[in-house]
Amino acid sequence: MRIAFLVAPEGVEQIELTDPWRAVQDAGGSPELVSTKPGRVQAFHHLDKADTFAVDASLDDDARPDDYALLVLPGGLANPDALRLDERAVAFVQAFFAAGKPVAAICHAPWILVEAGVVDGRTLTSWPSLRTDIRNAGGNWVDEQVVVCGNGPNTLITSRRPKDLKAFDTALTEELQRVKR
């Protein structure tokens, strides 16, 4: 089962990419790195450059939401900010919701959910500085390790920060197992 990890060419928080990636692999999923451009993406550890990762599919070429069972949106400060300014990335996210597919977002990643217009009426969490944006978009922001909104089509999994990755990964792999059935 293919799982899309959507990131910008620069600015993804490395641990928020690699930790859920490993959890998806351990659960039997096939994670794929999707970006707005082909090539490699530059990850960060907070504000410092970290490793680079090869892009599996780009929005320029071959990435289609229909090819994936679930979408993961890693955070980092710059990553979701760049994604929400890219109409193709916003449309990619919207397509998962339109198809009733689950989406998981951590830290600052809910910014793209706000831009995509998919938080209205949902309960979610994020890095605390996004709470006003989420509330202004009609979402119910809560300060919890992980929030699973919905059970079935359009399940949304959100988490606040890297320290919450264990809870985020658990909710993500539980959803992956549900989708497999």
pLDDT tens track, the chain, 181 positions? 999 999 999 999 999 999 999 999 999 999 999 999 999 999 999 999 999 999 999 998 889 999 999 999 999 999 999 999 999 999 999 999 999 999 999 999 999 999 999 999 999 999 999 999 999 999 999 999 999 999 878 899 999 999 999 999 999 999 999 998 7
pLDDT, tens digit, for every residue of 79-109?
A: 999 999 999 999 999 999 999 999 999 999 9
* Kind plus residue range of the DSSP H or E element containing 124: strand 123-124
| φ, ψ of residue 176 in degrees (nearest 5) | -60, -40
Q: Which amino acid is at 62?
A: D
pTM over 0.85: yes
Q: Which of 108, 122, 160, 161 does the annotation list as catalytic? A: 108
SS3 for 119? Answer: coil
CATH number of 2-180: 3.40.50.880
| φ, ψ of residue 132 in degrees (nearest 5) | -70, -40
For residue 52, what are the CA distances in angstroms to 49, 55, 114? 9, 10, 27
Residue 45 catalytic?
no
CB 89, CB 59: distance < 8 Å: yes
